[in-house]
Structure 1
Amino acid sequence: MSVCGALFVGLVLFGCCCGGLSEGSSLSLDGKWGLLNSNGSLSLGAQVPGCVHSALQQQGIIQDPYYRFNDVLYQWIALENWTYSTTFSLNSPFRDKSKVLLIFEGIDTVSTVSLNGITLGQTDNMFQRYDFSVKGILKDKDNVLEVSLTSPVHYAKDRRQCHVNFIRKEQCSFSWDWGPSFPTMGLWKGVRLEAFDQIQIIQVSAVTLYNSNASQWMVEVELVVDAVYTLNDVDLTLSISELMSVESHKVQFVTGRSKVKFTLHINTQSKVKLWWPRGHGEQPFYWVDITGSLKQEKIVNEIAKGEEFVAVVADANMNALRVWGGGVYEQDLFYNLCDQMGIMVWQDFMFACALYPTEKDFIQSVREEVVQQVQRLKSHPSIIVWSGNNENEAALATDWFDIPGTEKPKYVKDYVTLYVNNIRDIVLKEDQSRPFLVSSPTNGAESEQEGWVSEDPYDPHYGDTHFYSYTHDCLDWTSFPRTRFASEYGFQSWPSLSTLRQVSTEDDRRYDSAFSSHRQHHGDGNQQMLQQAALHFLLPNSTDAHKRYTDTIYITQVMQAQCVKAQSEFYRRSQSELIEGKGMTMGALYWQLNDIWQAPSWSSIEFGGKWKMLHYFAQNFFAPFLPIGFEDEDEFFIYVVSDLDEDLRLSSAIFLYNWSKFHPVRSIYNKIPILIPGGSAVNIYKSCFVTFHLEDKDGKQQGPSNYLFFSPLKDAQGILPPNITAKVSKEGEAFSIFLQSEAIAPFVWLDVGDVPGRFSSNGFLMFTRNTTVSFYPWRPTNVTELSQSLTVTTLRDVY
């Protein structure tokens, strides 16, 4: 994969002591508030930040909303109106400042805000920050602040049917095919007062640009400020001391909110260290010092801090994530962690699988949302692309909503108005450092030529592709699109029994129970999982209902892992092939990473953080270099894919096994080193279960082993009961699990129940008699607890 480095800069902000930033006062209003429902029958304490559902649960008024059918039983909560209130006092120096703002970082969603009985304004967008000027309203004591929230269900329904898209709120909170319906309300981000005499900095961003003609890096810094009065000829100095770069500017801050930009040109004699995506280099950063003086007062500073890593993604050898358009813009910490770990982010705007209005008020709200989010996020080098929406071009092009032909031009016009004339226009003005895609999937420039809505947005010749097929054999690589970029694909599975046990009763734990049906929000999803599994495996048939249920969960996870493995490996080996104008696949993002409740979904991480078998598989199929085997017209091929930046010279080792024996029937070593160019996929072997790996010149294995089954395992002959035994021992902060098997065992699955943590490897093909796996606990445990909790399941155990 071709990648480019970027210059990553942090910010050190400096203000003045004369009543500007440094002497401005801030008072957090987070903490315990009061919460009241519409008719006053419920009055309780509520934590801010938070939401109504969490407050009701914390006060014992409702149970776990995720337990059994509580998502239905608690629908009344979203149908009520609720009011948050708090009382606070202030000291005189705070009130004496020239300007005092009441700031809500996030209100979910439709509300009226009042202070001391005076209405300050209304809110209607979950993704916006709201500022209210309150200087003349504040008192020294007993200030009463109220936020009256309107039911998001009634608000949206009053505007149209179907109505979810008519409110600027997290779209999946009204349910999706992998999640429950909990249309939340609340103060979901912080609330504070800020007072200042001269100027308040609202947002600071720094974007790096490269002038290829001058061979020079530039840092474009932008300040969004609120000035009490116009400030002329303010001296600002930008500097990166490590790069021996400094530049001074005179700027003007006009009264009210305004934005100023200025540029620091990096010294061409300095050696710049670039930020690289994970797997391609390091992630260094530089501090940009922004210093300024008002009335020649003393300068002080504030320095931002961050965390260490995004472990769950990095541990699975992923280097990219997509923030999907049906959720929320992530918190700053998420992007900071991605910056630090080199995880690239595909950032959607929050529009998904629907047609949206273009009335003036809606557009105005969206424009403010987009401006705020781009200004907040554009400093992060981890964000590699903006995307206007999820699947809305495809929805129009392929007529998801049965729009009459005569009406379609109207909907296309609205689509262009929202995403092109407004969102795209704002993004291109606010951030010139990264590309903007109007939709996903899209044909990109081809869609633009066709008036922004292509005849076939899924055309693999262009742009990115989403691909799902639940009825065809998911291991048949010939059915996959040879696309430029696979930005969405996947298959469902059920979470583990230990995860489901938290929200179910014993009677619920049957595949045909009312609970299992209720938790499945994808049409025919439970049946589709079994139908797919039946193509490849014998389905569990134990007469013990509990065992049959747990075996079925296991089979769905095996099938999901195999399905996504096959498709991911196809996309990876297609990165160097162009066949009939299709191929050169330069990205594979499977759907989806995480769950939001305990239910079947496309995720590889269960609610609570437990890894599914798919996530363990991803460690291998996303490894930096990997041998991939497949059949084509009765011939066996092995490709080696490499995402490394250097060339490798490795040999192949191929082993043919009989299921009933540990010793390979045949071993084939290609001792002639094969050149594997970095960033490529190379066909290295042509020639019935086989394993294969790569070796260096000394015969040492490099990278993971892989395998290929030449028949569905339901037809395989000679798979014997492995009777695996396990012994647990303590090894430093981790635990070692020594496994011994009597036979080759496919899909060996280790589970320690409710003990949180992860294994070094899981769901693997055990083709040696002995192997050792490590377990990394997420809480204190011991050998006795792990030994008693540990279960080992293989494919042969469920038949």
Structure 2
Amino acid sequence: MDLASLTDIPPLSALPIFDLYQSTPLTPQHVMPCMTRDPYYRFNDLAYRWISLDNWTYTTSFTVPTHVRGKGKAVLVFEGVDTVSTISLNGVTIGKTDNMFRRYDFEVTGLLKDKENILQVWIMSAVTYASQRNRAHTDYRVPPDCPPPVQKGECHVNFIRKAQSSFSWDWGPSFPTLGIWKEVRLEVFDTLRVLSYTTSPKYDSKHSSWNVEVELFFDVFVASKGLVYVSMPLLQSEAEFQLSLTPGQSKNSFILQINQVAFRTVELVQEPVPSSPGLSFYFRINGKPIFLKGSNWIPVHAFQDEVTTDMITILLRSAQKANMNALRVWGGGVYEQDIFYSLCDMYGIMIWQDFMFACALYPTEKDFIETVREEVTQQVRRLKSHPSVVIWSGNNENEAAIATDWFNIPVAERPLYVKDYVNLYVENIRDIVLQEDSTRPFLVSSPTNGVESEKEGWVAKDPYDPHYGDTHYYSYYNDCWDWTVFPRTRFASEYGFQSWPSFSTLSKISESSDWDFSSNFSAHRQHHADGNQQMLKQAELHYILPNSTDPVQRYRDTIYITQVMQAQCVKSQTEFYRRSRSDIVEGKGHTMGTLYWQLNDIWQGPSWSSVEFGGKWKMLHHWAADFYAPILSVGVEDKGDLLIYAVSDNHSEQHNVKAKCGNCTRRSCIPVFHLSSPDNQMISPHNHIFLSSPRHAEGLQKPNITFTVKDTEVVLNFFVTLHCSFPAVYVWLDVDDIPGHFDVNGFLMLSKKATVIFGAWRNTTAEEITANLHITSLRDVY
């Protein structure tokens, strides 16, 4: 088979329907040339809205060598078109697309010319298409119609198979992209071409042995019965290997390079729990129960062609450094790039993979179901060979949307929507997954009651029942320090609190008039209703809000206090879930997973993320490295008693573990503790608990922190030595735009001297770090 990549030929260029040619190369890209400024700058999401409301034509010309045109069959392959298009070659329509998540193959045998070939891709506005499909669906309403006004988004995204968040979300902008977002290539052959292949290791418990099942999918020039011979060498540890493929009537062999086969088993255990009604919900990997610790992954960028391997690598390495072993690829975004899953395989990060349906009901017309079936088939075949993928999930929150009546559906009409729900997720998506992949579990939704939801007809009366399945829980006005308000769930797959990204991140896309919490910019960037007020009210429960008379300093301090609040709130909730692993209280508990919302950002704005757009760690992410540590001490005040829990993820027993904790009064000091081994080696991070709110602390003074920066013996690592006059709370070090992170940050400085290490991600010097380092503690902001 010969491959002629169109990316090696003059690239596709964009032109609007009024024949204004754009000269900037756009393969594989979205429509960007009309954006003369960063689309993320200030209010440009509104300024550039017109682009998504227009239709666009991509065109290119290419030549094909004689030996290529002489092959028996020629196919144009579009790996990804966003989204609704009509494609023509040399004036002949060769096909249409309607799904961003599918590969499309169009046979062009006989259409190729010996000289110039003209390829055109006419792309319809996704906003217009979605609106037209909604109007054509006249039998009944398919909600929601539009996002809340605060999101400044577009309507009826559930009628089009593209990233649902591209029409806006409560953490991101509305950029309904359109374009050719993945590779386009010409494939020609005389015998066959391999469409895809998968490897599926399967454990034979009876014989304690492994079998590797290899599936290959072909497109043949002439269909005929016969044998295909496959030879595979003896597998060796961590070695690449090749498959030799010989069709029975051919003299030629085809070589397929397979990089790895990973051997692991995964089970989702849902079985009775002693002393508790309901069922367990946990993952058993290679026969051992595993507590999943991680976060939720959203799209890295609104323009997918802007996503680089470096961006994905930085985020995944950040997750790994925070002791995460799991991420949930959320169902309102995209199925991620191959490199994402390969890196997760390498880093030991397990993936909960949603299919791309979120927070909506969906149509079930024949053509919609057909394109979804092909989407699911292709994605399962693409991803099933990755051992990091441990579960498939049909959608995000759509069972809960029906069960708890998000969309005010009349009771008499509810069975109709349940029928559509079962049709899409059970009779189609689940059916395909079970056919294509028997090696990992499938859930219809998240949150869900799992097998209990199935017993109730796939839509449970209460999908948030803590006795079953997984739970999503958000509460912004309850005191997040009060652990009694959190649900004792089997598995916490979403929870979190908002914060603002750092000043250095925001200053890139704003101007000085925007640097106020009450500015139009601050209101515009906040896409969650009452989000800014929720942050301040939650923070005010325990902290004195910033009161600098300098408006820019007050803005910077307010950003800091939102990150303090977020870190403390998520820490409180996560530690509650981790210590609930072995607890059953009033029939609830046995929590076996925490995936806070969310890991990353799609742009520079307030969100629930722990890593900002661009890769900078918020305070929450620094703290995650501690509250996700393999061995952890957790302090809890319960009815006047201070309890210290020892939490361990290790499968070996910990003997004679000692807890060390200082003695203090409620308002004048902070208990700090850790776990030690019998030989007094510290085996857990330091932890602390406030016995009263810091706003009521006695004796807390401005610490007057000074610092020096020196090189270390390790390249790109620097010692930062701090000195203070008084104890400091939530000491935060920020080096503006120098990429990297500190080994500890947002910490308690209870001695007069402390040394931390800054690890840079690019070449820098101690002098540059000194010039850019800002240090803030709680007492510095009021």
Return the match for 2:26 from 30, 36, 47: 47
Q: Is the CA contact 2:666–2:691 (under 8 Å) kept in the aligned structure 1?
A: no
Q: Corresponding residue for 2:742? A: 759
Q: Corresponding residue for 1:180? A: 173
Q: In structure 2, what is the Cα distance between the partners aligned to 1:581 and 1:26?
A: 62
Q: Is the CA contact 2:240–2:259 (under 8 Å) kept in the aligned structure 1?
A: no
Q: Is the CA contact 1:736–1:773 (under 8 Å) kept in the aligned structure 2?
A: yes
Return the match for 2:673 from 686, 692, 695: 692
| AA of the residue aligned to 2:14 | L
1:240: Cα distance to partner? 5.0
Q: In structure 2, what is the Cα distance between the partners aligned to 1:100 and 1:748?
A: 63
Q: In structure 1, what is the Cα distance between the partners aligned to 2:22 and 2:254?
A: 45
- Does residue 25 of the first structure (1) align with residue 3 of the second (2)? yes
| AA of the residue aligned to 1:580 | E
Q: In structure 2, what is the Cα distance between the partners aligned to 1:147 and 1:41?
A: 15
Q: Corresponding residue for 2:663? A: 656
Q: Corresponding residue for 1:552? A: 558
- Does residue 292 of the first structure (1) align with residue 250 of the second (2)? no
Q: Quick one: structure 1 residues 286 and 448, their matched pair in 2 at CA, closer, same or farther if it must change by over 3 Å? A: farther
| AA of the residue aligned to 2:729 | P
Q: Is the CA contact 1:660–1:743 (under 8 Å) kept in the aligned structure 2?
A: no
Q: Quick one: structure 1 residues 574 and 659, their matched pair in 2 at CA, closer, same or farther if it must change by over 3 Å? A: closer
Q: Matches of residues 352-363 of structure 1 in structure 2 within 5 Å?
A: 352-363=358-369
| TM-score, normalised with respect to structure 2 | 0.88
| AA of the residue aligned to 2:609 | S
1:773: Cα distance to partner? 1.1
Q: Corresponding residue for 1:64? A: 38
- Does residue 80 of the first structure (1) align with residue 51 of the second (2)? no
1:296: Cα distance to partner? 6.8
Q: Matches of residues 425-436 of structure 1 in structure 2 within 5 Å?
A: 425-436=431-442
Q: Is the CA contact 2:246–2:254 (under 8 Å) kept in the aligned structure 1?
A: no
Q: Corresponding residue for 1:479? A: 485
Between stretches 329-338 and 29-38, larger displacement belongs to 29-38
Return the match for 1:644 from 647, 650, 655: 650
Instruction: For structure 1, list consecutive stretches of 5 or more residues without a partner in the other structure.
Output: 1-20, 244-283, 662-687
Q: In structure 1, what is the Cα distance between the partners aligned to 2:458 and 2:219?
A: 37
1:130: Cα distance to partner? 0.3
1:475: Cα distance to partner? 1.4
Q: Is the CA contact 1:29–1:193 (under 8 Å) kept in the aligned structure 2?
A: no
1:708: Cα distance to partner? 0.3
Q: Is the CA contact 1:338–1:344 (under 8 Å) kept in the aligned structure 2?
A: yes
Count matched residues.
Answer: 706
Q: Corresponding residue for 1:279? A: none
Residue 43 of structure 1 aligns to a residue whose secondary structure is coil
1:214: Cα distance to partner? 2.9
Return the match for 1:521 from 484, 507, 527: 527
Q: Corresponding residue for 1:794? A: 777
Residue 462 of structure 1 aligns to a residue whose secondary structure is coil
Q: Is the CA contact 1:113–1:121 (under 8 Å) kept in the aligned structure 2?
A: yes
Q: Corresponding residue for 1:723? A: 704
Q: Is the CA contact 1:658–1:718 (under 8 Å) kept in the aligned structure 2?
A: no
Return the match for 1:344 from 328, 350, 360: 350
1:785: Cα distance to partner? 1.1
Q: Is the CA contact 1:659–1:719 (under 8 Å) kept in the aligned structure 2?
A: no
Residue 432 of structure 2 aligns to a residue whose secondary structure is helix
Return the match for 1:91 from 60, 65, 68: 65
| AA of the residue aligned to 2:690 | F
Q: Is the CA contact 1:494–1:600 (under 8 Å) kept in the aligned structure 2?
A: yes
Deviation sequence 1:572-610 (CA, Å, 0-9, x none): 111111223321111000000100111000000101110
| AA of the residue aligned to 1:207 | S
Residue 610 of structure 1 aligns to a residue whose secondary structure is coil
Q: In structure 2, what is the Cα distance between the partners aligned to 1:208 and 1:398?
A: 40
Q: In structure 2, what is the Cα distance between the partners aligned to 1:183 and 1:760?
A: 39
Return the match for 2:764 from 781, 784, 791: 781
| AA of the residue aligned to 1:148 | W
Q: Corresponding residue for 1:121? A: 95
Return the match for 1:542 from 527, 537, 548: 548
1:212: Cα distance to partner? 1.8
| TM-score, normalised with respect to structure 1 | 0.86
Q: Is the CA contact 1:234–1:292 (under 8 Å) kept in the aligned structure 2?
A: no
Q: Matches of residues 76-225 of structure 1 in structure 2 within 5 Å?
A: 76-160=50-134, 161-162=145-146, 163-225=156-218
Q: Corresponding residue for 1:735? A: 718
Q: Quick one: structure 1 residues 589 and 285, their matched pair in 2 at CA, closer, same or farther if it must change by over 3 Å? A: farther
1:536: Cα distance to partner? 0.6
Identity %: 57
1:299: Cα distance to partner? 4.7
Deviation sequence 1:734-768 (CA, Å, 0-9, x none): 11101112221111000011111111111111122
Q: Corresponding residue for 1:303? A: 257
| AA of the residue aligned to 2:742 | F
* Higher share in strand: 1
Return the match for 2:610 from 601, 604, 608: 604
Q: In structure 1, what is the Cα distance between the partners aligned to 2:129 and 2:206?
A: 54
Q: Is the CA contact 2:79–2:183 (under 8 Å) kept in the aligned structure 1?
A: yes
Q: Corresponding residue for 1:635? A: 641
Q: Quick one: structure 1 residues 285 and 405, their matched pair in 2 at CA, closer, same or farther if it must change by over 3 Å? A: farther
Q: Quick one: structure 1 residues 75 and 435, their matched pair in 2 at CA, closer, same or farther if it must change by over 3 Å? A: same
Q: Matches of residues 324-403 of structure 1 in structure 2 within 5 Å?
A: 324-403=330-409
Q: In structure 2, what is the Cα distance between the partners aligned to 1:784 and 1:692?
A: 36
- Does residue 772 of the first structure (1) align with residue 755 of the second (2)? yes
Between stretches 650-659 and 416-425, larger displacement belongs to 650-659
Residue 241 of structure 1 aligns to a residue whose secondary structure is coil
Residue 422 of structure 2 aligns to a residue whose secondary structure is helix
Deviation sequence 1:694-737 (CA, Å, 0-9, x none): 11222221221100000011011111211111100111311110
Between stretches 759-768 and 449-458, larger displacement belongs to 759-768
Q: In structure 1, what is the Cα distance between the partners aligned to 2:696 and 2:115?
A: 79
Q: Matches of residues 230-241 of structure 1 in structure 2 within 5 Å?
A: 230-241=223-234
| AA of the residue aligned to 1:186 | G
Q: In structure 1, what is the Cα distance between the partners aligned to 2:398 and 2:652?
A: 40
1:656: Cα distance to partner? 2.9
Q: Corresponding residue for 1:34? A: 13
Q: Corresponding residue for 1:272? A: none
Q: In structure 1, what is the Cα distance between the partners aligned to 2:478 and 2:55?
A: 47
Q: Corresponding residue for 1:18? A: none
| AA of the residue aligned to 1:47 | L
Q: Is the CA contact 1:659–1:717 (under 8 Å) kept in the aligned structure 2?
A: no
Q: In structure 2, what is the Cα distance between the partners aligned to 1:659 and 1:728?
A: 36
Q: In structure 2, what is the Cα distance between the partners aligned to 1:727 and 1:399?
A: 58
Q: Is the CA contact 2:61–2:117 (under 8 Å) kept in the aligned structure 1?
A: yes
Q: Is the CA contact 1:659–1:718 (under 8 Å) kept in the aligned structure 2?
A: no
| AA of the residue aligned to 2:658 | S
Q: In structure 2, what is the Cα distance between the partners aligned to 1:694 and 1:547?
A: 39
Between stretches 752-761 and 345-354, larger displacement belongs to 752-761
Q: In structure 1, what is the Cα distance between the partners aligned to 2:71 and 2:584?
A: 66
Residue 523 of structure 1 aligns to a residue whose secondary structure is coil
Q: In structure 2, what is the Cα distance between the partners aligned to 1:483 and 1:25?
A: 52
- Does residue 316 of the first structure (1) align with residue 326 of the second (2)? no
| AA of the residue aligned to 1:43 | Q
Deviation sequence 1:306-347 (CA, Å, 0-9, x none): 999931111110000000000000010000001111100000
1:80: Cα distance to partner? 0.6
Residue 535 of structure 2 aligns to a residue whose secondary structure is helix
Deviation sequence 1:335-361 (CA, Å, 0-9, x none): 000111110000000000000000001
